[in-house]
Structure 1
């Protein structure tokens, strides 16, 4: 296994913003259990769509979107705090 030093832009936690060597922009490090929850939430949306339960799908999708928006907000704030332009 190769070890590298990452440059942290936020504190740790389930969604730390870090930059790996050789990368221009930081990324978001999502813990495995948090990634699994995101995947499960998306699967719930798909299953509700397949059952034709669009209200349930919309509600689940809204929660999923809110979670991803929170990640993006944290990422954007970290970039702004360190004077880094957004890559998008």
Structure 2
């Protein structure tokens, strides 16, 4: 294990926006339990598709998309607050 200093752009909560050296752009730190939840959400979509339940798959996908949109908004807001260029097309 290596200890390093990072730059923190948001509160150190569950989805903190941080920049690791020597990276140019910050990233989002997702805790392991949250990563497991995202994985379970994707698995639910796959299972619904396998069962032919398009409505359930669409509903689960819409919830996942909404959660990811919130995370992406938090990320872009943090970068804008520090005048850091957004490293991707804003059209997403």
TM-score (normalised: structure 1): 0.98
1:22 to partner: Cα distance = 0.2
Q: Secondary structure at the match of 1:38?
A: helix
Residue of structure 1 in register with 2:70 after alignment: 70
Distance (whole Å) between structure 1 residues aligned to residue 23 and residue 81 of structure 2: 18
Count of residues paired in the alignment: 88
TM-score by length of 2: 0.94
Deviation of the 1:12 alpha carbon: 1.1
Structure 2: gaps of 5 or more residues: none
| Structure 1: gaps spanning 5 or more residues | none
Structure 1 stretches of 4+ with a deviation exceeding 3 A read none
RMSD: 0.4
Question: Within 2, Cα distance between the matches of 1:3 and 1:52?
Answer: 48
Aligned residue for 2:29, secondary structure, equals strand
